[in-house]
């Protein structure tokens, strides 16, 4: 499978919205978002986040999305809103998009650390992130859309530990 990464533009927003198929999935990807994800929500995100990035297939269709947020120049940033089109999950795209975002954070912005947050029930993401060397440093209690208690695991990766 072939894909490439590029900066997300407004014409991509509808495709990004289509990546999210349920309220539960939106909560996992963007807990503060309202379901369904809308172009207007993405416009607002684009004003406060950096490096909005899409993965596109050979025809230019959006198959993945990620960005950086809570950016502190010279210190840290979080990788956020990581979502992969269901047909492409388990095929290496998630790993590749995280690598791409780490290169932006460590290479382009020269940050000493990158952080990421993931809900405890998202086992594939926990395994993926720990494979990069991310380590948990805090667990935050949240409520999912149905009001259930869930654990948001905050993880960090220091640049000197990154094997990219």
pTM above 0.85, yes or no: yes
Domain count, the chain: 1
CATH number at residue 108: 3.40.630.30
Residue numbers of the domain that contains 75 = 4-161
pLDDT digits (tens, 9 = 90+) for 119-152: 999 999 999 999 999 999 999 999 999 999 999 9
- Within 13 A of 19's CA, how many CA atoms are on the CB side? 28
pLDDT digits (tens, 9 = 90+) for 18-66: 999 999 999 999 999 999 999 999 999 999 999 999 999 999 999 999 9
**Structure token digits, residue 113:** 């650390």
CA distance 89 to 49: 24
């Amino acid at each position: 499978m072939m894909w490439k990464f590029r900066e997300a533009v407004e014409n991509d927003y509808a495709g990004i919205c289509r990546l999210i198929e349920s309220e539960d999935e939106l909560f996992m990807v963007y807990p503060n978002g309202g379901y369904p994800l809308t172009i207007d929500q993405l416009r607002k995100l684009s004003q406060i986040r950096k490096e909005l990035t899409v993965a596109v297939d050979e025809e230019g269709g959006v198959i993945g999305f990620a960005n950086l947020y809570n950016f502190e120049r010279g210190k840290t940033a979080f990788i956020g809103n990581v979502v992969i089109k269901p047909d492409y999950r388990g095929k290496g795209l998630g790993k590749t998009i995280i690598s791409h975002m780490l290169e932006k954070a460590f290479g382009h912005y020269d940050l000493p650390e990158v952080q990421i947050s993931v809900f405890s029930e998202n086992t594939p993401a926990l395994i993926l992130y720990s494979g990069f060397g991310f380590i948990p440093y805090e667990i935050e209690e949240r409520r999912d859309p149905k009001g259930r208690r869930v654990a948001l695991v905050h993880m960090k990766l220091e640049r000197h530990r990154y094997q990219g």
